[in-house]
C-alpha cells in the first residue's frame, strides 16, 4: 500500500543465515503487526508491537514510531520460514494499513 512500504519485495536466503525485513510508514502508526501468510492464504499473526522490540524464538521485531519504521529479523533461517510476510500499521483510529508483502524463500 501507499501508506506502508515493505522491503524487499522478495528475498532468497540460504538455510541458517540471518536477514531483516523492513516496513516504512507514511502514517503516524501507534501499533504495528507482522503476519505470515500460510499455504492456505490465511494471515497468521507473528507480532503485535507498540514502540519497542519483541522476540519470539528466531524472530525479533522492532518498531520505532519516531522514525516511522519497523523491522522483522529472522535468525538462522529454516525452510519452514518460507512464505509471504506482511506488516500492518495502525494509526489511532482502528484502521489497519497493510504493506504489499515480502516473499521469502529459504533454500537448503
Partner 1 sequence: GPKVLQIPSHQIIDMGQMVTLNCDPVSNHLYFYWYKQILGQQMEFLVNFYNGKVMEKSKLFKDQFSVERPDGSYFTLKIQPTALEDSAVYFCASSPDSNQDTQYFGPGTRLLVL
Q: Which residues bind partner 1 (CB under 8 A)?
A: 33, 35, 37-45, 47-48, 84, 88, 94-96, 98, 100-101
Select 17 or 92, whichever has its Cβ closest to partner 1: 92
- As a whole number of angstroms, the distance between CA 10 and CA 62 comes to 20
Residues 6+ apart with CB under 8 A from 28: 65, 68, 91, 92
Select 94 or 108, whichever has its Cβ closest to partner 1: 94
Q: How far is the CB of 16 from partner 1 (least distance, A)?
A: 25
Q: How far is the CB of 35 from partner 1 (least distance, A)?
A: 8
Select 4 or 77, whichever has its Cβ closest to partner 1: 4
Of 42, 46, 37, the residue nearest 102 (C-alpha)? 37
First-to-last alpha carbon distance for the chain, in angstroms, is 32
Amino acid at each position: 500500500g501507499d501508506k506502508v512500504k515493505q522491503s524487499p519485495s522478495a528475498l532468497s536466503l540460504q538455510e541458517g543465515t540471518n536477514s531483516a525485513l523492513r516496513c516504512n510508514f507514511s502514517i503516524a502508526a501507534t501499533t504495528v503487526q507482522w503476519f505470515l501468510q500460510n499455504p492456505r492464504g490465511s494471515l497468521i499473526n507473528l507480532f503485535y508491537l507498540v514502540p519497542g522490540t519483541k522476540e519470539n524464538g528466531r524472530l525479533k521485531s522492532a518498531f520505532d514510531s519516531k522514525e516511522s519504521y519497523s523491522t522483522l529479523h529472522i535468525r538462522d533461517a529454516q525452510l519452514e520460514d518460507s512464505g509471504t510476510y506482511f506488516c500492518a500499521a495502525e494509526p489511532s483510529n482502528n484502521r489497519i494499513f497493510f504493506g504489499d508483502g515480502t516473499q521469502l524463500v529459504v533454500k537448503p
